[in-house]
């Protein structure tokens, strides 16, 4: 840890930490404004949606941020490190924005770099712990693909995933921290369920009558597209996944496109809102010394 602090790049970031933080916030706000300006249909789609639908989506996406905070918290604890809850919330918020605009899974890369600098968490250790989350996320969503057509495969898939996680816990010698791995798995299940409810609301809001089972299969397919998200918010990629698995969830192409537009529109506005709120508090914490408050 002492050698890490002596590196020129680390000393530079430490010296200009406040200025860099403010610069990143300003640059990201500019990126969000630019994105909305070239996609004006985002605001139009949100404005013509029922207020009750918007309130429901607001509650669910807010819960999703909370879920991301818990996943980050438990992965850090799994590495025997601790990060204050406020910092974890800021980190989850900023990485959610970056994950939307960046290719593939940019958010975790940002978290890994931040945690290495902030609390000395090795990128290798963080990567190992994130593998448990990604494996759980993939296993749950792949299993859901067969929920309506072959539910036995869903049950077997989830069971196999649990067995492999138990094996991995022992192989990586995490037995003494198994409670954190269990917590990550449970929170991941909650994350997938929340996503399915979001899609169910959006499908109904755009005039599609979908069942709970269909929304779970739909969510499973959409979530898997995040692993190859080469565009902002996996635009195009997610639709391709959903069209490829249409025989499993039974949602028409027109409904997929309509629900997708509503989802991206609301999510971008949501990201802008939470980013501005988090930035306001972050700048206050960064610029104004605690003693002067």
% of the chain beyond a pLDDT of 90:
26
Mean pLDDT of the chain: 79
pLDDT tens readout for residues 117-169: 888 888 888 888 888 888 889 999 999 999 999 999 999 988 888 888 888 78
Residue 232's pLDDT is: 57
Are 256 and 242 in contact by the 8 Å Cβ rule? The answer is yes
Res 44: pLDDT: 63
**When comparing pLDDT for 161 and 103, which is higher?**
161
- Above 70 in pLDDT, residue 62? yes
According to the per-residue pLDDT averaged within each range, which of 12-26, 33-47, 190-204, 225-239 is highest? 190-204
211-227: average pLDDT: 91
124 C-beta neighbours (distance < 10 Å), count: 9
Confidence of residue 289 (pLDDT cuts 50, 70, 90): very low
User: Distance between CA atoms of 204 and 184, rounded to whole angstroms?
Assistant: 30
1-24 per-position pLDDT tens digit? 444 445 454 455 555 555 655 555
Task: Answer whether 0.85 is exceeded by the pTM.
Answer: no
Residue 164's contacts (CB-CB under 8 Å, 6 or more residues apart) are 135, 139
The pLDDT score that the predictor gives to residue 141 is: 94
Which of 8-17, 103-112, 129-138, 243-252 has the lowest average pLDDT?
8-17
- Per-residue confidence at 231, pLDDT binned at 50, 70, 90? low
Q: Taking the mean position of all CA atoms in its chain, how far away is CA 82?
A: 20
Task: Give the pLDDT score at 3.
Answer: 47
Q: What is the percentage of the chain residues whose pLDDT exceeds 70?
A: 75
Structure tokens that stand for 216 in this block: 């779970």
pLDDT tens, position by position, 64-81: 999 999 999 999 998 889
> H-type helices in the chain, by residue range?
2-5, 8-15, 17-38, 41-47, 51-78, 85-101, 106-119, 123-144, 151-171, 178-205, 212-224, 237-244, 246-249, 253-287
Rounded to whole angstroms, the Cα distance separating 244 from 238 reads 10
Which residues, including other chains, have CB under 8 Å from residue 127's CB and lie 6 or more apart? 112
Helix (H) / strand (E) element for 1: namely none
Nearest-10 Cα torsion for 123, 129, 132, 137: -60
pLDDT for 288 equals 52
Q: How far is Cα 188 from Cα 165, in angstroms, rounded to an integer? A: 13
pLDDT at 234: 61
């Amino acid at each position: 840890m002492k050698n890490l602090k002596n590196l020129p790049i680390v000393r530079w970031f430490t010296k200009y930490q406040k200025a860099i933080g403010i610069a990143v916030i300003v640059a990201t706000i500019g990126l969000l404004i630019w994105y909305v300006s070239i996609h004006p249909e985002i605001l139009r789609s949100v404005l013509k949606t029922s207020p009750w639908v918007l309130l429901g989506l607001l509650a669910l996406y807010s819960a999703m941020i909370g879920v991301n905070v818990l996943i980050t918290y438990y992965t850090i604890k799994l590495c025997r490190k601790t990060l204050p809850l406020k910092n974890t919330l800021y980190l989850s918020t900023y990485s959610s924005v970056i994950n939307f605009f960046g290719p593939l899974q940019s958010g975790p890369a940002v978290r890994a770099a931040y945690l290495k600098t902030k609390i000395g968490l090795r990128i290798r250790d963080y990567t190992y712990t994130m593998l448990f989350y990604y494996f759980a996320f993939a296993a749950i969503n792949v299993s859901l693909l067969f929920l309506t057509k072959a539910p036995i495969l869903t049950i077997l898939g989830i069971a196999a995933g649990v067995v492999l996680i138990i094996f991995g816990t022992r192989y990586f010698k995490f037995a003494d921290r198994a409670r954190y791995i269990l917590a990550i798995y449970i929170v991941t299940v909650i994350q997938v369920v929340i996503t399915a409810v979001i899609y169910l609301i959006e499908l109904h809001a755009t005039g599609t009558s979908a069942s709970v089972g269909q929304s779970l299969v739909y969510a499973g397919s959409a979530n898997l597209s995040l692993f190859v998200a080469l565009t902002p918010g996996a635009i195009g990629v997610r639709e391709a996944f959903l069209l490829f698995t249409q025989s499993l969830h039974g949602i028409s192409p027109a409904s997929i496109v309509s629900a997708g537009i509503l989802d991206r529109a609301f999510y971008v506005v949501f990201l802008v809102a939470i980013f501005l709120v988090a930035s306001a508090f972050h700048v206050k914490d960064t610029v104004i010394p605690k003693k002067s408050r």
